[in-house]
Amino acid sequence: MIDGSHLPYEENVALAKKVVEYAHQYDVTVEAELGVLAGVEDEVSAAESHYTKPEEVIDFATRTGCDSLAISIGTSHGAHKFTPEQCTLVNGVLVPPPLAFDILAEIEAKLPGFPIVLHGSSSVPQEEVETINKYGGALKAAIGIPEDQLRQASKSAVCKINIDSDSRLAMTAAVRKYLAENPSHFDPRQYLKPARENMKKMYIHKIVNVLGSDNKLG
């Protein structure tokens, strides 16, 4: 993965092309990114998101030679993807604005069959947030991408959906709960076992019930 989305367009093209030319020498595929996601990922951060422009995708994919393209249609990095003001209150639950499936459809039409990727797509399971907060955490207004929207995306050209924050939440919730209930324990092998099991449970749910990738290879 090479993320030059925070750079001006031509600099993003040049960086992605350089990485592709190097990686392809060793039969390594490259995922490039076009469009800016809000939030923080590693050392790259952005205060605002900017949707991918469908009119740029053909030029970008052709000139860079990338093998897959990560786009921006309303997802965001981290566990705090949206402010409460951006959401609608439905039956006491904050619902974030929908993903821009119209833009995804335009991109699919311009790049038929091309692998599309969604970064920043964690759903931020509220049960994990509640567990973290119950046992000493302070996650306020942590809101993610609704799973029904990820199900819809997985039926399109989107072939990869990044959900790293969900795994972090699952692990942290299990660790906090275990240590609170077993204050005399200090061996990582003790509290990491339930943490791994909770992550495994979360991944099984995502694979089988959300992403539609159960029993699929490649």
Per-residue model confidence (pLDDT) at position 45: 45
Per-residue model confidence (pLDDT) at position 38: 62
**β-bridge pairing 93-95 and 88-90:** antiparallel
Decide if 120 contacts 77 (C-beta within 8 A). Answer: yes
Per-residue model confidence (pLDDT) at position 61: 98
pTM comes to 0.86
Per-residue model confidence (pLDDT) at position 40: 45
DSSP string, 19-85: HHHHHGGGT---EEEESB-BEEETTEEESS-B---HHHHHHHHHHH--SEEEE-SS-BSSSB-S-GG
From CA 203, how far away is CA 163, in angstroms rounded? 9
DSSP string, 109-131: HHSTT--EEE-S-----HHHHHH
From CA 78, how far away is CA 76, in angstroms rounded? 7
Residue found by looking up tokens 């959401």 in the block: 87
Tens digits of pLDDT across the chain (218 residues)? 999 998 999 999 999 999 999 999 999 999 999 998 764 444 444 445 689 999 999 999 999 999 999 999 998 888 887 888 888 888 877 788 899 999 999 999 999 999 999 999 999 999 999 999 999 999 988 899 999 999 999 999 999 999 999 999 999 999 999 999 999 999 999 999 999 999 999 999 999 999 989 888 75
